[in-house]
Amino acid sequence: MKTILITGASSGIGAATARIFASRGWHTVITCSKNKESLFSLKKELEQSFAVPCDAYVCDMGHYEEVEALFSQIPAPHALINNAGRSYFGLLSEMSLQDWHHIMDSNLNACFYTCKLAIPPMVRRKEGRILNISSVWGETGASMETAYSASKGALNALTRALAKELAPSNIQVNALAPGVIDTAMNAHLTPEEAEALKAEIPADRYGTPEEVAELAWQVIHAPAYMTGQIISIDGGWL
């Protein structure tokens, strides 16, 4: 049985992705930093619904010591999905240094930490899959979300560079760049702003976490020749 580590899995895209992989027979390791109740509820759901092992850990992926402790307790993952992250909405000039570092720790440094620890056993096996959850803002940038955009742009660059580094070891590294997905991350929008944003999307709706999760499954199982790609799922928006 193969093992997958999915970070930021207590809700939204992470939880939907965990359900997909557990339902298809994977040993699923899930983490979150704060929402312990939801995380362990998901663990129970996956084990009862799909009769597969599921391990749940409360871990701040932006702190290397916690990530290192996590990896000492889990099987070496065959696949890694870096989904943990946070957003910040506001003017850059009014952003605190602490908020900036929190964004970078959660969205970029966390990916470095997990990859650093997951890669050595993948290299020994000559097999592995890494999928980073990025954003359309990593390609185009968003006003009032400068730090978030910068972190996701850096994540895209990391994805492309790491894919080249690991290709000789038969390890594929790709990223998904979702557009507007119906998750709590968009809770800062007023109803009027949400409607105006939806009107800009050719599909005339927000995406669902389940759609992103299904694409994550497909990318993890894509032909080995596909690596270093940033794959958009945005309803034709950008």
**DSSP-assigned letters across all residues of 89-130:** -S-GGG--HHHHHHHHIIIIIHHHHHHHHHHHHHHHHT-EEE
Token pair in block for residue 211: 């759609």
Distance CA 157, CA 166 (A): 14
Distance CA 227, CA 56 (A): 29
**DSSP-assigned letters across all residues of 174-210:** EEEEE-SBSSGGGTTS-HHHHHHHHHTSTTSS-B-HH
88 catalytic? Reply is: no
From 64, 148, 206, 225, active-site residue: 148
Which of 108, 124, 111 has the alpha carbon at shortest distance from 76? 124
Query: β-pairing, 27-32 with 128-133?
Result: unpaired
What size, in residues, is the chain? 238
Active site residues: 148
